Amino acid sequence: MPKNPIAPAIGRRGALRLAAAAGTAAIASRTARAASALHEAPGLALLTQQGKLPPAAQRLPNNPEIVQPSVSVGRYGGTMRSAVRGDADHNAILRLVGNMGLTRWTPDFAKAIPNVAESWTTNQDASVYTFKLRQGMRWSDGHPFTADDIIFFTDDLLPDTAFYAAPPPQYVINGKLMQGEKVDDYTVRLIFAGPYLTFPERLAGPLGQHPVLYAKHYCSQFMPKYNPDIGKLLAETHQPDWATLFRQHCGDIETPARWANPARPVLDPWVVSTPYTGGATEVVLTRNPYFWQVDPAGNQLPYLDAISFKVISDIQSIVLAAVGGQMDLELRHVALINNKPVLAQHEKSGRYSLVELDTTDVSAAALFLNQTDKNPALRALLTNHEFRRALSHGIDRDEVNDIVFLGQSAPWQTSPLPQDPFYNKQLAIQYLDYDEDKANGILDKLGLTRRDSNGIRMMPEGGRVFLTADADVENPQLIDVLQLVKQHWAKIGVDLAIKPMERSLFYERGQNNDYDIDIMGLPGGLHPYTDPRAWLSVQPLDSRESLPWVHWYQSGGKMGEKPSPSMVERLQLWDQWKEAPNQQRADALLRQILQLAADAFEVIGISRGTTVFGVRSDRLKNVPAKMPMGWEYPTPAPTLPQQYWMAET
């Protein structure tokens, strides 16, 4: 089994020595800049001299990607400190280190550009993509990275039902799997059964990394096809099948196991040296000597020697560590609007500054009204457009904004954000104004005129107009929002009960369709097609306007419940959108979907997504002061942490 030669060599003490050497090396690299030769980190240069590593020119591809630093060319050295939570917070590492797909988003989240691939071309109807890889590019263990690695995924893993009981939908078009075709060692064709316009954007997000996640020379040893002795290995490790064993060693996109095996070859800028395991107190990733990007001065990236994630179980302790200046970059768990005052207050003493994380969310708080409520009387009300309009007019959004979101948000329904090309004005501002009289008038017209002694309206068939809202206790902001909404709605004679509950119960009740209203944040503010949960019932966990509708759609009409005519139409348009042969057609379809969603108005938005804040220490350079916050992006990967550097180390 090939081992990473660098991992044991750069231990903690090695890193200190590197840090000491960094100062002199920086001067050396500046004098040598005139020559267009490659430069490498001092620690790697040492290993090269000792003959433990091949020279830099042989480690890098013939044409490494030249990355423009966001501010200045940096210096080598330093360990960046950040945090992960103890319970399956693997995506904290993914976001900083591991978003190495064939493509990536530009730093402004505008479009997908080549990343691992040098370039790509596509045919007329966007059903065949030809990716050119970099000649001479290598995995972190020095083994060449070629078209075979991608073919390994498309031919050996993707179609194998033992590996994928159901294939990931991003590689399925028209019910047919993506096909791979090797043109030569550095050219590969990915072929779909129909047009797939958004494929490069899918590849740029975290869920599109599969084709370049698995190194064939390493991972194939866990497959019966390549390793006839697999039975022995399974018996030794008490594993039921090869797929389990494979995932334990080669990981998957979103599992802790991905960061638990230092021997797994990667294309990332840093490689795990202290793994993320159940007993870990710290996760350390050290420089990948074979990383394939350079800066304009010819310095091999990354600049930073290592990233150290401290494992901290309690989120408040992470905030405390950030405030105490113990984090060089923490964008994840501290990024809540309520933390802004405490973070801002200690900026000086903690020697850090705030990073503005621009929201990519549609809404910080949205009410999903269950369109398939089990209670027939309530269902009649919740599916009534006029009733929903009254509820919307009955919410004082300015008060919610001032009290819960510290004035940092704004009243908003469920449109994509104004800067997005798919912004829909009606979907953004309809029924936003707080108007008790208007709301009461609408409800009176609906025949809900009788009131009980508390002023709560009575249903015509008896019983009060009584709605229950479920909320996840781990998001106390949303519960605060509900408290205010409850007061507002009492004024229009609608009684709201708030049920905060443990997260798994919240999701279980969703799956069982046991709720009237759910309150949640709403992603998809930019590139709305990446998460259309509020406009289209396609998201099996979170399209809470009606999960039975999602089941209906996913099962092709066999299960669940047939959606409203408007939703059926939207879902048909969505199917057409997926196969749209050109961009104009696709965009027109998406606009049509959003317009239908605006007319149907199933989800009541309360507040727009808010800008939140993370921290970066003053010594960490090249971190943009402002970046988008989102999972598809995923923050901060497209700003390229490999070009962050440390001023004094």
Partner 1 sequence: MARFIIRRLLGMIPFILLVSFTVFVLIKLPPGDFVSNYAANLSASGETVNQATLIQMRHEFGLNAPFLVQYWHWIWGVLHGNFGYSFKWQQPVGTLIGERLGLTLILSVSALLFTWAVALPIGVLSAVRRYSIADYLVTFVSFLGLSVPGFLLGLVLMYIGVTVFGENLGGLFSPQYLNAPWSLARVVDLLRHLWIPMVILGIQGSASLIRIMRANLIDQLHQPYVDTARAKGLRETTLLVRYPIRVALNPFVSTLGWVLPNLISGSVILSIVLNLPTAGPMLFDALLAQDQFLAGAFLLLLCALTVIGTLLSDILLALLDPRIRVQ
Site for partner 1 in 320-379 (CB under 8 A): 320-321, 323-326, 349, 361
Asked if residues 613 and 367 have their Cβ atoms less than 8 Å apart, the reply is no
| Binding residue for partner 1, selected from 166, 175, 235, 236, defined by CB under 8 A | 166
| Binding residue for partner 1, selected from 4, 82, 91, 607, defined by CB under 8 A | 91
244 binds partner 1 (CB under 8 A): yes
Size of the site for partner 1 (CB under 8 A): 73
The separation between CA 523 and the C-alpha centre of its own chain, rounded to angstroms, equals 10
67-75, 190-198, 419-427, 508-516 -> range binding partner 1 (CB under 8 A):
508-516
Which residues ranging from 12 to 51 are in contact with partner 1 (CB under 8 A)?
A: 12
Asked if residues 396 and 606 have their Cβ atoms less than 8 Å apart, the reply is no
| Binding residue for partner 1, selected from 233, 257, 429, 432, defined by CB under 8 A | 257
Separation of alpha carbons 568 and 554, rounded Å: 12
Separation of alpha carbons 59 and 67, rounded Å: 17
Asked if residues 47 and 293 have their Cβ atoms less than 8 Å apart, the reply is no
The separation between CA 550 and the C-alpha centre of its own chain, rounded to angstroms, equals 22
Which residues ranging from 521 to 560 are in contact with partner 1 (CB under 8 A)?
A: 521, 523, 531, 539-542, 554
Residue among 95 and 488 whose Cβ is closer to partner 1: 95
Q: Locate tokens 């507040």: which residue?
A: 607
Least distance CB 311 / partner 1 (angstroms): 8
Instruction: Let me know how many helices (H) and strands (E) the chain has, helices first.
Output: 21, 25
Q: Which has the closest alpha carbon to 399: 289, 319, 481?
A: 481
Joined together, the tokens standing for residue 455 give 């002023």
**Tally of residues, the chain:** 649
Residue among 494 and 520 whose Cβ is closer to partner 1: 520
Quick one: angle between helices 230-237 and 242-250, nearest 10?
A: 80
Residue among 58 and 349 whose Cβ is closer to partner 1: 349
Residue among 170 and 576 whose Cβ is closer to partner 1: 170
Residue among 298 and 525 whose Cβ is closer to partner 1: 525
Residue among 40 and 361 whose Cβ is closer to partner 1: 361
Separation of alpha carbons 360 and 432, rounded Å: 21
Separation of alpha carbons 638 and 110, rounded Å: 11
472 binds partner 1 (CB under 8 A): yes
Separation of alpha carbons 266 and 107, rounded Å: 23
| Binding residue for partner 1, selected from 507, 576, 611, 618, defined by CB under 8 A | 507
34-42, 144-152, 213-221, 319-327 -> range binding partner 1 (CB under 8 A):
319-327
| Binding residue for partner 1, selected from 175, 228, 279, 376, defined by CB under 8 A | 279
Which residues ranging from 184 to 213 are in contact with partner 1 (CB under 8 A)?
A: 206-207
Least distance CB 273 / partner 1 (angstroms): 9
Least distance CB 285 / partner 1 (angstroms): 13
236 binds partner 1 (CB under 8 A): no
Residue among 42 and 350 whose Cβ is closer to partner 1: 350
Question: Which DSSP helix (H) or strand (E) runs through 114?
Answer: strand 112-114
Asked if residues 546 and 558 have their Cβ atoms less than 8 Å apart, the reply is no
162-170, 298-306, 594-602, 615-623 -> range binding partner 1 (CB under 8 A):
162-170
Which residues ranging from 592 to 621 are in contact with partner 1 (CB under 8 A)?
A: none
Question: How crowded is residue 611: how many other Cβ atoms within 10 Å of its Cβ?
Answer: 16
423 binds partner 1 (CB under 8 A): no
192-200, 281-289, 294-302, 562-570 -> range binding partner 1 (CB under 8 A):
281-289
Residue 65 phi/psi, 5-degree rounding, is -70, 130
Q: Which residues, 6 or more positions from 559, have their beta carbon under 8 angstroms from its beta carbon? A: 551, 552
